[in-house]
Structure 1
Amino acid sequence: MSFTLERIERFLAAHHPFDTLSPELVAECAREATSHEVSEGDTIYSAGDALPGLFLILRGSVELSVPDGTAISVRRTGEIFARRGLIGDGTAPDAAKALEDGDLLVVPVPHFRRMLDASEPFRSFFERVRIRSDEARTGARDGGLTTLPIGALMTAEPVTVPPGIAVRDAARIMAERHISCVLVAEDGGPLAGILTTGDLTGRVLAKGLSPDTPVREVMTADPVSLSPEALGFDAFLTMAERHIGHLPVTDGGRPVGIITRTNLINRQTVSSIYMVGEIARAETVDRLAETVTAIPQLLAQLVGGGAEPHVVTRLITDIGDAVTRRLLVMAERDLGPAPCPWLWLACGSQGRREQTGVSDQDNCLILDDSATEADDAYFGALAKFVSDGLDACGYYYCPGDMMATNPRWRQPLKVWRQYFDGWIRKPDPMAQMLSSVMFDLRPISGTRSLFDGLQAETLSDARANSIFVAHMVSNSLKHTPPLGLFRGFALIRSGEHKDTVDLKHNGVVPVVDLGRIYALVGALEPVNTRERLIAAREAGVLSESGAHDLLDAYDFIASVRLEHQARQVREGQKPDNFMAPGTLSELERGHLKDAFMVIKTMQSALAHSRGAPG
């Protein structure tokens, strides 16, 4: 497609960060830049290549991937790429490939440098990336293993053997390949089991079994596995809590890789891994609390290392999950086996996997319908042990008493069904509030089948009740972005947090509320806000442009919030959600106002549609 100089100039002026340049500099940039057509599948550059300049997508989309081929990002029309390499040593840290036919604009390196020198706002946009890259090179990063997908860490093409093979032959294969395990599966079939050298010792030799014994009789059948998209942190968490050293990686049920302790030890450079290991080994609440005190520092390191906001909150929440599960193990150790099946669930920010450096606890218990009134004494004691332990670890008691220690939130499954049914049929203000919290439920530990179907049933029933949906929409619009007249910030005017904005209740929460409504309208099961927005886009509940803008706004606000907390940690303060806009640069303040405007626009659209987002 042909792009005239005038059209390129207009395009630059309309897209960030070129919209921060003066008209003269935009015109100069348009003259110096060159446009290039690309076809689907074209390699634009490979990792390690010298970068010719800053890329801007005029039309189409581009996939960025790490050297092993794992995709890490997709950039679309109007977005730039290659900036991280340009503000570093000038070489590409990743590879770029065209996902479709399109056109790219390349601003040559010399002219890019001139724009940095000529425009302070333009330079400020890239300054944050430069700081983060410097921190990463000097080791001030907690990313690496925890934030890498397992696909980048695993040993691919694992050795597999059929279930009927003799253990003698399986042992020979392990010896010849110098490996400590084999996965068990029919050729091209789903994973059936895993056999390790430990199994050969403990299940074959120690029991005097014949070397001709089929592998199926001594393997670990249906082992826990993770997908290539899971994080390295997930692998460590699973192995630490289950006390296993080998973890299969499956795609569609079929084995595609193996993660071992060796894989992780070779890549282990971060403190979050140490924390999870300590949590899994802790024998007392005091030891747990001592370990969890490092969370603020972990947050600061992750943010300083440039980890994406959703990755930071996911890792912080995973630590909270690990603490909860360990407390449940301790409780059962002290109280004895439970009298009936149960399931501990988190709601609120933990349920959505969106915890930061400031978190209370929101949880509940679903009991099997066989539970009796006498059983409640046991579960009341279990809930008290866990909630007290969480409070001792810094997850303070829920101000609204939304905890399993409250008998109301510790009930058999049939009662929970009655709760949701009653809230949906009679959506008064209290029902709206409770529904908002309970739609974010996520199982943490126990018998997960108690939750199977409950969420889907509730979403289906709620979606079918237009009055309930309208009430939920009204409730979701109570939290508004802090914008005043003429797009200025509406600051808190008095009290302890005077002259600040609340980045939680007036920044992140409005998007959380919108995501919950989109999930309700579309009967979508994701609980995480970001995943809800993506699912809403894919289901057609939210338009492509609306989802794109809202995701960008949410990510930016979440990033500002986390950086604010990280700055407080570095300054020795207790992190909170109240930020003075003056701590941001002029450019960042402008971006924050734009993000708030996106939310306000989406809220307005929802208010007018009353349950039919667009």
Structure 2
Amino acid sequence: MSLTQDQIIRFLRSVHPYDALPPEVLADIAVRAETRICAAAEAIYRFGEALPGLFVIHDGSVDVVDENGAVVSHLGLRNSFGERGLLRDGKAATSATATAETTLLMLPAKLIADLQRDHAGVARFFNRARQDRAPRNDLATSPIETLMARDPATCAPDLPVQHAARLMRDRRISSLCVVEDGLLRGIVTIRDLSGKVVGEDLPGTTPVADVMTAEPLTLPPSAIGSDVLHMMMEHRIGHVPITEAGRLAGIVTQTDLTRFQAVSSAELVTALARADTAEEMATVTAEIPRLLVQLVAGGNRHDVVTRLITDIADTATRRLLALAEAELGPPPVPYLWLACGSQGRQEQAGVSDQDNCLMLDDSATEADLVYFAALAKIVCDGLNTCGYVYCPGEMMATNPRWCQPVRVWRGYFAGWIAKPNPEAQMLASVMFDLRPIGGDFDLFRDIQAETLRAASANSIFVAHMVSNALKHSVPLGLFRGLATIRSGEHRDTVDMKHNGVVPVVDLGRLHALRAQLTPVNTRARLDAAERSGALSPSGARDLRDAYDLIADSRLEHQAAQVKAGVAPDNFLSPSRLSDFERSHLRDAFVVIKTMQSAIGHGKGMLG
């Protein structure tokens, strides 16, 4: 039995993003929507069919499978499917089957297009990759929570002014927020103490309430940087408490604004290039978390953020190489320092260890190796001091295995390709992400081209690399949600690195290998794969969109941790996300799983 228009309207009021639409728009949707009743095991649509629009489950359940029959989602009440993000060239990239008697609401494609055109909230919902998110002016348009100091120092109204002065002196701050019964009552600053207490010769026992600014100007957490700037300029104040329902959430001072503006990748690169010791450099790299927060708050996409952060690591590496040469003397033969892993791909985020190696000119002797072992130790120790901790797998130039002449490196790659055992697969995956950092770049150019040619021509090696690329599964749960870690320190979270970013990194590397593409950065690899024809335009678009959403979400999680005073990690709790965010994150994982399945069945991603 078809749903009535009243039933459709009531239902849509419980489904995002339609719940925010005005009554007249919901009434129009109810007129244009279609009801479809499906029996258990009935096919809703099949792979390759053109879809009439978007399906929303009113009741019942649906399984969505890829072209190879692998289940990518179990869906239920209020879940939607069939949206454009899961289509290839206008055709369905999945099949959907009712697993119980199911009532579906079908919203025609024209209706969805009209809603996106006329309602920004709906457009944002369907713009999963946020490709139109433009970087904003860093300070003026940054959210207030990015600027403010959390947990500001507070005192009671009856605190003697002498005690207040000592507290500000000891904590090296310029103000105290006066709080009573959990509510902000006023603010006392150093200017108040000097002008009102010292200037008027008040006793040290005078309560703070007598000299504070009562009911100070405040802003809510929803404010942006320009609100603070304008308030400070108009009222000639240097402190703005941030409150919500009268309760103190933070404070922004002129010092906070100055500090915020002072952090930029260019400033950090300049400071690193002038540092004389690893310890001096460490004071610079300690600013990276705050830079991460600023870049994310500024609306920059993940590949811009990670590129800027990686540039800092590159500069630190080159400066340490220069300091090592100054200490040890000129190198006896040409050498090249290379980074692999996230630094090699220019994808460093808030959590990074070091992965590096040395290639030496073939004229290097055993005696020369002693020099380069010392150079490697200085650089790797210095990177560790700067916060790029030692690689737990010893994938570093301090390991003699990874400090060798070019001829030995050629032998390594040839051996891994000829005998792709598990260790060879792992090492090849790491070493295909090599990027020169400092030294003689000519030592690497021929090796990269030779290795790509040999690897792509060896079908057995490619097959093993395909298998290796499928080892990291995406965290899709059986019933609509996300599969979280079940036990241990990170219970009930999703590993956004190994189960989110890494699967796309693996797919990008695989396509670069197959098509002999030289880019190392993952997004650049996907772009190059599309240009070369290794990826269809729709396959590349879907994978890029999914990657962008996941990588952006990972960085936003890390930035939020930094702001909260917590060391950043890769473990995101889905419970902290809105239904909107969880829905799109799940869709992104579905795209990746579909791509993995296609690769695993030897069908590629050509659409």
TM-score by length of 2: 0.61
Corresponding residue for 2:589? 596
* Cα distance per residue 1:443-496 (max 9 Å; x no partner): 000000001121111011000000000001001100010112124211111111
Q: Which residue of 2 aligns with 1:416?
A: 409
Q: Flag the 1:503–1:134 CA change in 2: closer, same or farther, 3 A.
A: same
Task: Name the CA shift for 1:587/1:131 in 2 (closer, same or farther; >3 Å).
Answer: farther
Match of 1:332 among 309, 325, 344: 325
Residue 137 (str. 1) matches residue 130 (str. 2): no
| Cα distance in structure 1, aligned partners of 2:441 and 2:131 | 43
Q: Do structure 1's residue 525 and structure 2's residue 543 form an aligned pair?
A: no
2:311 corresponds in structure 1 to 318
* Identity percentage of aligned residues: 61
- Determine the C-alpha separation between the residues in 2 that align with 1:17 and 1:548: 25
Which residue of structure 1 lines up, in the alignment, with residue 397 of structure 2?
A: 404
2:538 matches 1:545: yes
- Tell whether the 8 Å contact from 2:360 to 2:406 is kept in structure 1 after alignment: yes
Could you say if the C-alpha distance between residues 282 and 602 of structure 1 is closer, same or farther in structure 2, counting changes exceeding 3 Å?
same
- In 2, Cα distance between the equivalents of 1:122 and 1:20? 12
Counterpart of 1:454 (choices 428, 443, 447) is: 447
State the 1:138 CA deviation: 4.1
- Distance in 2 of aligned mates of 1:282 and 1:546: 46
Q: Taking structure 1 as reference, are residues 572 and 26 closer, same or farther at Cα in structure 2, changes over 3 Å only?
A: same
Contact 2:595 2:605 in 1 (8 A): no
- Gap change, CA 1:375 and 1:274, over 3 Å in 2: same
CA distance in 2, matches of 1:299, 1:276: 14
Instruction: Assess, with a 3 A threshold, how the Cα gap between structure 1 residues 567 and 105 changes in structure 2: closer, same or farther.
Output: same
| SS in structure 1 of the partner of residue 479 of structure 2 | helix
Offset of residue 137 of structure 1: 2.7
- Counterparts in 2 of 1:370-389, with a 5 A limit? 370-389=363-382
CA distance, structure 2, for counterparts of residue 542 and residue 123 of structure 1 = 23
User: 1:208-252 deviations in whole A, cap 9, x for unaligned?
Assistant: xxxxxxxxxxxxxxxxxxxxxxxxxxxxxxxxxxxxxxxxxxxxx
Question: How far 1:25 moved relative to its partner?
Answer: 3.3
The corresponding residue for 1:586 is: 579
Structure showing greater relative contact order (alpha-carbon pairs closer than 8 Å, 6 or more residues apart)? 2
CA distance in 2, matches of 1:123, 1:608: 30
CA distance in 1, matches of 2:362, 2:488: 48
CA–CA separation in structure 2 for the residues paired with 1:290 and 1:521: 43
The Cα of 1:269 is off from its aligned counterpart by 6.7
SS at match of 2:601: helix
- The alignment status of 1:445 with 2:448, answered yes or no, reads no
1:575 to 568, 571, 594: 568
SS at match of 1:344: strand
Aligned pair in 2 of structure 1 residues 575, 26: CA closer, same or farther (>3 Å)?
A: same
Query: 1:584 Cα shift?
Result: 1.0
Q: 1:507 aligns with which of 500, 505, 513?
A: 500
Q: Does the 8 A contact of 1:606 with 1:613 survive in 2?
A: no
Q: Deviations for 1:399-422, whole angstroms, at most 9, x for unmatched residues?
A: 111000000000000110000000
- The answer on whether the counterparts of 1:473 and 1:610 sit within 8 Å (CA) in structure 2 is no
**What is the SS of the residue equivalent to 1:303?**
helix
| Secondary structure of 1:357's aligned partner | coil
- Distance of 2:597 and 2:126 partners within structure 1: 34
Name 1:7's counterpart in structure 2: none
Q: Distance in 2 between matches of 1:476 and 1:482?
A: 16
Cα-Cα RMSD: 3.6
The one-letter code of the counterpart of 2:371 is Y
Q: Radius of gyration: which is bigger?
A: 2
Q: CA deviation at 1:384?
A: 0.4
Return the TM-score normalized by structure 1.
0.60
> Would the aligned equivalents of 2:263 and 2:290 in 1 still touch at CA under 8 Å?
no
Q: How many residues align?
A: 403
C-alpha contact 1:470 1:610 (8 A) present in aligned 2: no
Aligned counterpart, 1:390: 383
Corresponding residue for 1:164?
A: none
1:25 is aligned to 2:25: yes
- Counterpart position of 1:341: 334
CA distance in 2, matches of 1:128, 1:512: 19
Runs of at least 5 residues in structure 1 that lack an aligned partner in the other structure = 1-12, 33-57, 59-76, 80-103, 144-267
Alpha-carbon separation, structure 2, partners of 1:434 and 1:549: 29
Instruction: Return the letter of the residue paired with 2:410.
Output: R
**Relative to 1, partners in 2 of residues 1:429 and 1:311: Cα closer, same or farther, differing over 3 Å?**
same
Aligned to 1:481: 474
Q: CA deviation at 1:271?
A: 2.4
CA distance in 1, matches of 2:600, 2:606: 9
Change (3 A) 1:496 1:539: same
Q: Which amino acid aligns with 2:427?
A: L
- Structure 2 counterpart of 1:560, from 539, 544, 553: 553
The one-letter code of the counterpart of 1:461 is A
What do the CA deviations read for 1:382-401 (whole angstroms, capped 9, x no partner)? 00000000001110111111
**Whole-angstrom distance in 1 between the partners of 2:18 and 2:134:** 22
Instruction: Name the SS of the counterpart of 2:445 in structure 1.
Output: coil
1:460 to 1:125, Cα distance in 2 relative to 1, 3 A: closer
The code of the aligned residue for 1:383 comes to A
**Equivalent pair of 1:335/1:378 in contact (CA under 8 Å):** yes
Q: Deviation per CA, 1:320-352: give whole Å up to 9, x if none.
A: 000000000000000000000000000000000
1:274 CA drift (Å): 1.4
Structure 2 unaligned blocks of 5 or more = 1-11, 33-52, 54-82, 86-111, 147-260
CA displacement 1:483-519 (0-9 Å, x = unmatched): 1212421111111111100000000000000000000
Structure 1 pair 403/122, CA: closer, same or farther in 2 (3 Å)?
closer
8 A Cα contact 2:129 2:545, kept in partner: no
Indicate if the aligned counterparts of 2:336 and 2:437 stay in contact, CA closer than 8 A: yes
